[in-house]
Structure formats: C-alpha cells, structure tokens
C-alpha cells in the first residue's frame, strides 16, 4: 500500500520478518520512487514495525 504518495507500507502475518520481505519492499520502493517504507507484522504481540528503507541491509 502506498500512503500519501511517499511511503510504502507492507502488512505481513508471519512468525518473523524474513530478509526476502525487505528485499521485495526495497524493490517496490525503487520502482515506485518512494523514499520511505515500513513492514508491519500482525502475527506478533505486540505488533512489530520495521523500517524497509534503503539503509537496511
């Protein structure tokens, strides 16, 4: 989902966030020319929120 035309938000429901999720998010951000991104994991309590921007390795 793209929010306000500047940020990508991906929602997941998995036991943990895998590196491939971040790679996909970065690819989508690059294709859409979006400077910010985050991944929300609804399977954890409390909710896990991680940055998916270009600085993540």
* Distance between CA atoms of residues 8 and 3, nearest Å: 6
Please answer whether residues 37 and 51 qualify as being in contact, where contact means their C-beta atoms are separated by less than 8 angstroms: yes
| pLDDT tens-digit series, residues 9-47 | 999 999 999 999 999 999 999 999 999 999 999 999 999
- pTM for this model (two decimals): 0.83
* Distance between CA atoms of residues 4 and 55, nearest Å: 21
Does the pLDDT value for residue 53 go beyond 80?
A: no
Give the three-state DSSP class for 1.
coil
């Amino acid at each position: 989902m793209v929010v306000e035309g500047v940020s990508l938000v991906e929602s997941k429901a998995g036991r943990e966030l895998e590196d491939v999720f971040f790679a996909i998010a970065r690819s989508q951000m690059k294709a859409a020319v979006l400077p910010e991104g985050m991944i929300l994991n609804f399977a954890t309590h409390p909710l896990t929120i991680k940055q998916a921007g270009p600085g993540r390795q």
